[in-house]
Amino acid sequence: MMNTKNELKYLLLIIIIFISACIETDIYLPAFPDMMVWFSASEGAIQSLLTWNFVGICISGPLYGPLSDAVGRKRPLMLALLVFLAGSIITLFAQSLDQMLVGRILQGLGSGGCFTLGTAIIFDAFQKERAIIALNNLNTIVPLIMAAAPMLGGFLNQSFGFRSNFLAIALFVLLSFLICLFFFDETLAEEKRNPVQLRSILRDFKLALTSLAFWQLTIVMSVLFAGYIAFLSGTSVLFVVEFGMSKSIFPLIQAVILGGWVAGSLLLERAIAKWGIPQIKKAGTVLSVAGGIILAIVSLVAPQDPYLLTSGVVLYAFGANWIIGLYFPEGMELLPHIKGVTASLLTSARLAIAALVLGVTSSLYNGTVYPLTAVVFGSVVIILPALFYYEKAKAALTTGSQPPH
């Protein structure tokens, strides 16, 4: 186990790696209406910037994971940050929506490396129990950054125009690159690396792809994330354009939704200590389902009240944090010898599903909250049987000490 000083060092480095990757999806959401006007684009076309960004992240995961298992984490991470920076520069100067899309895809290809490699680094640098604590710390700190991102984006958009959001992303990426270049030490020892062999890579992916337990947990985390991000991105146009909400107020609504996630993070460790992991898993599931039900009811009785609609999603986000916070480390430890592969698949699958859901939601956009409600409510319907069968199979193991495969 690494000493406290080294653990703190790696935790800070991972936070820095994640900052740019996190804010690039949230900081410019308040600028969607202004970007629609500047590019003369529809809501669906502007929202495709987010969808294609997720596509880039999905493509990157299976590339960075095996590569980092073979050559270590630092060199692929520096490559990812360079690609991320190139995409950020393109978005800053893009004169057409097509150019902006190219930049957003490159940003996705780069930020996907940040997510995948940052996750692998956690499990390199920390033992399993310490990794759970580190992830909870990240789940507390990173959402605070994400909560601040739309407020910062709203301020920048109103004060300097929408391009200032993309300038902020570029500066954060450049800072991350320089800090990692000079201060990041390799975490994957030489003896733990796997040579880049196509047959070996395909074998590792086959092992993960055929693990029922791995995919049960991956689907749960993916659909929860998809419901969350679909509501967050969809309301950027719905609340401002359709419901007439002030552009100065809307970032606060986004911050409240993210606040539900932050509250879950802050309370998770204390709740585990008091009630235990099994009970918190159940509580997180109940809270997410309750949030989806509340959103569905409000959509029927007050479909144009943004504050009541938001209340259900806050509860949903709180529960989702507990579910993901506990099941993510469990999913990573299902196949501990190929953490680069599992990290890439978890990241790619989560964002591939999110991209698909966002694309469908965008195509169904009709100026009402109903498509967004269907996504959130549908996610809680999916997670219930997936978690039930996963926990049932886990309990049925005779040893009681290993997760199901």
Give the Cα separation of 320 and 283 in Å (integer): 10
State which H helix or E strand residue 222 sits in. helix 212-237
DSSP string, 250-296: HHHHHHHHHHHHHHHHHHHHHHHHHH-HHHHHHHHHHHHHHHHHHHH
Cβ-contact 304, 110 below 8 angstroms: no
What per-residue confidence (pLDDT) applies to 2? 46
What per-residue confidence (pLDDT) applies to 405? 56
Report the 10 Å Cβ neighbour count for 124.
21
Residue 248 pLDDT grade (very low, low, confident, very high; cuts 50, 70, 90) = confident
92 Cα distance to chain centroid: 23
Mean pLDDT, to the nearest integer, of 321-331?
Answer: 86
271-306: b or e for each residue (b if 16 or more CB lie within 10 Å)? bbeeeeeeebbebbbebbbbbbbbbbebbeeeeeeb
What per-residue confidence (pLDDT) applies to 4? 66
Cβ-contact 316, 260 below 8 angstroms: yes
Give the Cα separation of 345 and 334 in Å (integer): 13
Give the Cα separation of 354 and 88 in Å (integer): 22
What per-residue confidence (pLDDT) applies to 385? 94
* C-alpha dihedral sign at 385, 391, 392, 397: positive
Cβ-contact 361, 198 below 8 angstroms: no
Helix, strand, coil % over all residues of the chain, rounded to 5:
85, 0, 15
Evaluate if residue 107 carries a pLDDT over 80. Answer: yes
Cβ-contact 48, 101 below 8 angstroms: yes
In the chain, where the domains are located: 4-183+196-201+211-396
* C-alpha dihedral sign at 78, 80, 81, 85: positive
Give the Cα separation of 171 and 88 in Å (integer): 9
Mean pLDDT, to the nearest integer, of 338-345?
Answer: 71
Residue 47 has which token pair? Answer: 């929202």
* C-alpha dihedral sign at 354, 358, 364, 370: positive
**Tell me: the pLDDT tens digits for 258-289?**
788 778 877 888 898 899 989 999 999 999 99
* CATH number for the domain formed by residue range(s) 4-183+196-201+211-396: 1.20.1250.20
**Tell me: the pLDDT tens digits for 9-33?**
778 888 888 888 878 877 887 788 8
pTM recorded for the entire structure: 0.68
Residue type, 55: V
Query: Rounded to 10 degrees, what is the CA torsion of 107, 111, 112, 114?
Result: 160
Q: Would you say how long the chain is, in residues?
A: 405
